[in-house]
A = this chain, B = another copy of it.
Amino acid sequence: MCELLGMNCNVPTDIRFSFSGLVERGGRTGEHRDGWGISFYEGRGSRTFHDPRASIDSEIAELVRGHSVKSLNVICHIRKATNGRICLENTHPFTRELWGRSWTFAHNGKLKGVKRKPLSFYEPIGTTDSEHAFCWLLDQVRTRFPKPPRSPRPLIALVHELALELNELGTFNMLLCDAQHLYCFCSTHLTWLTRRAPFGEASLIDREMTVDFAKETTPKDIVTVIATHPLTHDEPWTIMERGSMVVFEDGVVVGG
């Protein structure tokens, strides 16, 4: 199994505090040693750093941890390989273009028989069940909506329906971003937290590190963090129910 981390905000925000906690699970406090990846959005495009090596040993993780990249949407994944060998092609997040936007996807879990689902438009580059699921999901979205719908509601309803269908094949904890919305589907474990004024302090669970967000933010900032398991021990994380989805835009819930 793997661990997921996502962020969605109304102002470009630095994810390094949460990322620092997550990478510890990539070999030190957790067993997710089989690669990691992170996608940062800038506008409709995204920038992805992939490394098939453990995040705690990764020079690229060191670069990401050492430098401020501010973004409105981030998806990050650390991998414990269960399906597909350890290589770049099999390292999440996966990315495809639809409607002139970069879509990124990361998955935690295992899906039995997902490769029997036929694909038309998008094809996997690697061999994971996860990338096949992503290609299938995006195929369905593209078929139903050749152009982006005016209201996000029917799109959100479709993504939820597709996630439930995939979830029937096993475990499907998912983070998906279309450059604007962050879709979070909970199959077994997913939790989220919104930070907004008045901001306070937070301390990581996986390493000794405390941040006073009052010093890092403005009163208008709204920052939501999504993770497989809570990353801090002094904040009120919402544990999602199995089968539920929540969608964020500008840091707030817009559907689910």
> CB distance A101 to B87 under 8 Å?
no
Is residue A217 within 8 Å, beta carbon to beta carbon, of the partner chain? no
Contacts of A48 in B (CB 8 A): 48
- Asked if A14 is at the interface of the complex by the 8 Å CB criterion, the answer is no
Q: Contacts A59-B67, A63-B60, A63-B63 known; A89 to B45 CB distance under 8 Å? A: yes
Residues of B within 8 A of A30 (CB): none
Who on chain B is nearest to A123 by CB? B100
Q: Which residues of B contact A44 (CB under 8 A)?
A: 89, 125-126
A99 an interface residue at 8 Å Cβ cutoff?
yes
CB contacts (< 8 Å) of A100 on chain B: these are: 123-125
Q: Tell me the complex Cα distance, A95–B125, Å.
A: 13
A-side interface residues, number (CB < 8 Å): 28
Per the 8 Å Cβ criterion, residues 15-74 of A in contact with B are 42-45, 47-50, 59-60, 63, 67
* Contact indicator B123/A42 (Cβ below 8 Å): no
A141 at the interface (CB under 8 A from B): no
Expressed in whole angstroms, the minimum distance between the Cβ of A12 and any Cβ of chain B is 12
Contacts of A213 in B (CB 8 A): none
Interface of chain A residues 83 through 118 with chain B (CB within 8 A): 87-89, 95-97, 99-102
CB distance from A122 to the nearest CB of B (A): 7
Q: How far is the CA of A87 from the CA of B47 in the complex (A)?
A: 11
Partner among B42, B88, B95 whose Cβ is within 8 Å of the Cβ of A43: B88
Q: In the complex, what residue of chain B is closest to A90 when comparing beta carbons?
A: B45
Contact A88 B42 (CB under 8 A): yes
- Please measure, in the bound complex, the distance between the C-alpha atom of A151 and the C-alpha atom of B148, giving whole angstroms: 38
Closest residue to A119 on the B side, CB-wise?
Answer: B100
CB pair A43 B97 closer than 8 Å: no
Task: List B contacts of A96 (CB < 8 A).
Answer: 97
Partner of A126, one of B45, B60, B99, B123: B45
Contacting pair A97 B126 (CB below 8 A): no
User: CA of A59 to CA of B63 in the docked complex: distance in angstroms?
Assistant: 8
In the assembled complex, which residues on chain B have CB atoms less than 8 Å from the CB atom of A126?
A: 43-45
Known pairs A47-B50, A97-B122 / 8 extra A-B pairs, C-beta < 8 Å: A43-B126, A45-B89, A49-B49, A95-B95, A96-B97, A97-B123, A100-B125, A101-B125
| A-B residue pairs in contact (CB < 8 Å), sample of 15 | A42-B87, A42-B88, A44-B125, A47-B88, A49-B49, A60-B63, A95-B95, A96-B97, A97-B122, A97-B125, A100-B123, A100-B124, A100-B125, A101-B125, A121-B121
